[in-house]
Amino acid sequence: MVRLIFLGPPGAGKGTQATLLAKSFSIPHISTGDILRGAVAERTDLGLKAQAYMDRGELVPDQLLLDMIRNRLNQSDAESGWILDGFPRNIAQADFLDQLLLEIHQSCDAVVNIDVPDEVLVSRLLERGRKDDSEEVIRRRLDVYRSQTAPLIDAYRNRQQLVSVNGNQPIDTVTSELQRLIEHK
Ligand code: ADP
């Protein structure tokens, strides 16, 4: 049973590593970015509200995320553990998650930070070419990450929950380092 939060800037490889580790631990990979993109594609109410923020590289308003996370963590497959990828992304979301985990009698085993230099991030994202991967939007996402999400790294480090890995290495090297660090947590 393992429960993990993945932090790290856009392009760090969170989604890739979260997918691989979720498979190896047989637990659900919960990506708020994937859920939101699905909602946009299906033109649900959530998707219609979220789209403009995503297109600009801004965070979607917290209120739209909170019910989504609560419902997802209450689904039965999440009883065996989970990897949260893309949430929390600011202090208010982190506070909400603390409260929710208390309520559902769960706790997170480790918060994973994947470290990658900025110039590598930008070139990876430009290569990926997703709809929100234009240079201007990428720059905005990095700014938002630095101002709103990066402060969470210190907060989780102070609680001794942080595990940090160098993400500027081959994919399987990052995966095996992560596996080792998590097992020793
Ligand atoms: P990346 O890892 O490249 O930043 P994601 O796929 O995690 O991309 O997220 C894409 C977009 O979805 C974000 O730029 C943001 O607009 C929105 N988003 C995802 N998760 C959250 C969240 N927890 N809070 C607010 N917005 C979010």
Q: Whose CA is nearest to atom 9 of ligand 1?
A: 33
Pocket test for ligand 1, best of 32, 68, 131 (most atoms within 8 A of CB): 32
Ligand 1 atom showing the smallest separation from residue 144 Cα: 14
CA 114 – CA 165 distance, rounded (Å):
5
- Mean pLDDT value of segment 150-164: 97
Residue-range domains of the chain with CATH: 2-183 (3.40.50.300)
In the chain, count H helices and then E strands: 9, 5
3-state DSSP assignment of residue 166: strand
CA of 125 to the centre of ligand 1 (A): 14
Tokens read off for 70: 């609560």
Q: Is the pTM of this model over 0.75?
A: yes
Mean pLDDT of 18-45: 98
DSSP 47-116: HHHHHHHHHHTPPPPHHHHHHHHHHHHTSGGGGGEEEEES---SHHHHHHHHHHHHHTT---SEEEEEE-
Residue 185, pLDDT score: 85
Tens digit of each residue's pLDDT (9 = 90 or more) over 50-109: 999 999 999 999 999 999 999 999 999 999 999 999 999 999 999 999 999 999 999 999
Q: Whose CA is nearest to atom 19 of ligand 1?
A: 33
Mean pLDDT, to the nearest integer, of 152-177? 97
